[in-house]
Chains A and B, each alone.
Chain A
Amino acid sequence: MSASMRVLVRRATRLSDRNIQLSAAAARASARSSSCRCFSDAAEDRSTHFGFETVPETEKAKRVYKVFENVAQRYDIMNDAMSLGIHRVWKDMLLHAMHPQPGVRLLDVAGGTGDISFRFLEYVHSQQERQKRRAARSMQTPSWQDISNNYSTEDEDGPLESRAVVCDINKEMLKVGKQKADSMGISTGLSWVVGDAEELPFDDDQFDIYTIAFGIRNVTHIDQALQEALRVLKPGGRFMCLEFSKVTNPVLARLYDAYSFQMIPVLGEVIAGDWKSYQYLVESIRKFPDQEEFTEMIEDAGFYCVQHKNLTGGVVALHSGFKL
């Protein structure tokens, strides 16, 4: 299929949740007219999925907001309980794939409670330490010239300071993230911004790395979020996305389904007192496109060298692309 045809088909699939009742006689004519209507800006007519439910697009964002507002306080505990702590491994693997060097600027969208940003700062910090140690080792017997050079290079730590910006649409999640940062004693190099992934409050060409971990499936218009990601990245910047995806192995898929639908809402009820939010969570995972389709969406947005890597047998996929 040509690229334009693919876009059409994909749009139609996403709009297919509408209840279109057409008589067979008027099929052809109304098909043409409704397809025109599909592509015009009739936002009130458009509906999308909220888990397995169908809701108007305008309502989805509100409902997602409410879900995360409810779960914010117990978000981290629930993550540990649901994934048995494996989510930490996934996030560490994202950081290792990212391999950030001191001095880069990170935009962590849907960063919520700050897990990725904290890891980023730690990683960059340890990289910096390693560089310093390497530099120290290479000059075991410094001459006076070297020592005086060292004094002058110490204020060059300024430009080498890495900065992470945590951007999230939900104020409760950011609040929890800020509290975590305070308790961990992290203050420099971290900022917290309220923003919508579909319309980021940043200028063009600002960031070296854009990450979105377990957030993009909650966005109503994923293509818009991808375009925004392209816009705010510097040329050469990297887009990285961690998201739940399709399990390829059929046996593991069955086990994963059983665990998701039987266990996770129960955990949500017992630990967070909220069954429905976690029911939404497992359903939204099923509604998200699979690895290949998402790769195509990232390519369509204009990224190059798009790759994906499956983690834990496809439970989570790490997608990466570059703005060139």
Chain B
Amino acid sequence: MWRQHLAKPSLRLYQRQCALTSKAVRVHQLHSTSTGFTDRCYDDLYPGHIHTTPIQKALLAVGSGVAALQNPYRHDMVAVLGETTGHLALINLRDRMRNDPEGNAILTERPRIRLSTLDLSKMASLPDGSFGREYLRFLEDNHVTPDSRADVKFVDNEELAYIMQRYREVHDLLHTLLGMPTNMLGEVAVKWFEAAQTGLPMCALGAVLGPLRLNARRLQSLFTSLGPWALQNGRRSRCILSIFYERRWEQSVEDLRQELNIEPPPITLSATNKKSTKKYE
């Protein structure tokens, strides 16, 4: 009876034995009729990848949007919103990176910005005003670490997932480049820059809804000087994901800004000790 079937491979073995015990047949049939999740594939495209159907992505987008609005400190929800809505923007970014030689190098080499990959002592020994030194200063002043970025889960393309991850890791570097601290106003300014640069819907949403939490004085500075500066520079800057930051720690911030076509910030915001600040006329 069931002994003969032991010779066959295990999956069909399981199916045959189910056929014999009539109860188990219904279990198996229910698997087959369920929406394609019979053999739920564990062949993830990258570590942490979770397969999702379009319906699930839509539900996730809506759900994470609501959750993020209710509780802006739920960074995982902001991350999920970005992943589920950013498909077109990510493709656009990938094309821009491919057309840039340095961007192409990044796509091939796939560098990751983590505490384990950074040589902190070397960066601390760099002169003030250099990109590496200022980035380290930014991390210390704002008590942040590059390891706090959530992993990408819901992007169904390995390369696009990397680009999303790179975007998250570059966010802190952008703070340094733009001279913006991690308070609400600084974050909103960076979001405006990113929205203009990347076109990610999550950035756009953050850019629109972020100002709602600012007081009047900050709103004024946002709308009169910081905001227009961020938008203009976001549009005209070179693609920020195409820069191999890991090889540019020694470069001075000013130099890097010029190369990227970014003007220095018009206002100095607290929580950063920027020595190189020029008033924007």
Q: Which of A's residues lie within 8 Å of B, judged by CB?
A: 9-10, 12-13, 16-24, 27-28, 30-32, 34-35, 51-53, 246, 253-254, 257-258, 260-263, 265-267, 269-271, 273, 275-276, 279, 283, 286-287, 289-290, 292-293
Evaluate contact between A27 and B42: CB separation under 8 angstroms.
no
CA distance A23 to B6 in the complex (A): 9
Cβ of A275: which chain B residues have Cβ within 8 Å of it? 50, 153
Chain B, residues 27-59, CB within 8 Å of chain A (1/0): the string is: 100110111011110100000001001011001
A4 to chain B, nearest CB (A): 14
B62 to chain A, nearest CB (A): 9
Evaluate contact between B55 and A31: CB separation under 8 angstroms.
no
- Interface residue from B17, B21, B37, B56 paired with A52 (Cβ < 8 Å): B37
CA distance A270 to B2 in the complex (A): 45
CA distance A28 to B6 in the complex (A): 9
A103 to chain B, nearest CB (A): 39
- Interface residue from B2, B10, B26 paired with A18 (Cβ < 8 Å): B10
CA distance A51 to B38 in the complex (A): 11
CA distance A279 to B34 in the complex (A): 14
CA distance A9 to B17 in the complex (A): 8
The residue of chain B having its C-beta at the shortest distance from the C-beta of A27 within the complex is B7
Evaluate contact between B77 and A262: CB separation under 8 angstroms.
no
CA distance A92 to B10 in the complex (A): 42
B202 to chain A, nearest CB (A): 15
Evaluate contact between A289 and B33: CB separation under 8 angstroms.
no
Evaluate contact between A23 and B35: CB separation under 8 angstroms.
no
CA distance A287 to B10 in the complex (A): 17
Q: Is B136 an interface residue (CB 8 A)?
A: no
- Interface residue from B21, B59, B74 paired with A13 (Cβ < 8 Å): B21
Q: Which of B's residues lie within 8 Å of A, judged by CB?
A: 2-4, 6-7, 9-10, 13-14, 17-18, 20-21, 23-24, 26-27, 30-31, 33-35, 37-40, 42, 50, 53, 55-56, 59-60, 63-64, 66-67, 74, 76-77, 80, 153
The residue of chain A having its C-beta at the shortest distance from the C-beta of B66 within the complex is A270
Cβ of A287: which chain B residues have Cβ within 8 Å of it? 27
CA distance A13 to B19 in the complex (A): 10
- Interface residue from A9, A34, A253, A279 paired with B33 (Cβ < 8 Å): A253
Please report the number of residue pairs spanning A and B whose Cβ atoms sit closer than 8 angstroms.
110
B18 to chain A, nearest CB (A): 7
**With A12-B17, A275-B153 as contacts: A262 and B6 at CB distance below 8 Å:** no
CA distance A23 to B7 in the complex (A): 6
B173 to chain A, nearest CB (A): 27
A19 to chain B, nearest CB (A): 4
The residue of chain A having its C-beta at the shortest distance from the C-beta of B6 within the complex is A31
Interface centre among B37, B64, B74, B77 (most CB of A within 10 A): B37
The residue of chain B having its C-beta at the shortest distance from the C-beta of A53 within the complex is B42
CA distance A12 to B1 in the complex (A): 12
CA distance A16 to B40 in the complex (A): 18
A-B contact pairs, 18 of them (CB 8 A): A9-B21, A13-B21, A18-B10, A20-B6, A27-B4, A31-B6, A253-B30, A257-B30, A261-B34, A266-B63, A269-B60, A269-B64, A269-B80, A270-B64, A283-B40, A286-B34, A287-B27, A290-B23
B260 to chain A, nearest CB (A): 35
B207 to chain A, nearest CB (A): 22
Cβ of A53: which chain B residues have Cβ within 8 Å of it? 42
**With A275-B50, A292-B23 as contacts: A263 and B59 at CB distance below 8 Å:** yes
CA distance A265 to B50 in the complex (A): 11
CA distance A262 to B24 in the complex (A): 24
- Interface residue from A17, A28, A34 paired with B14 (Cβ < 8 Å): A17
CA distance A52 to B30 in the complex (A): 13
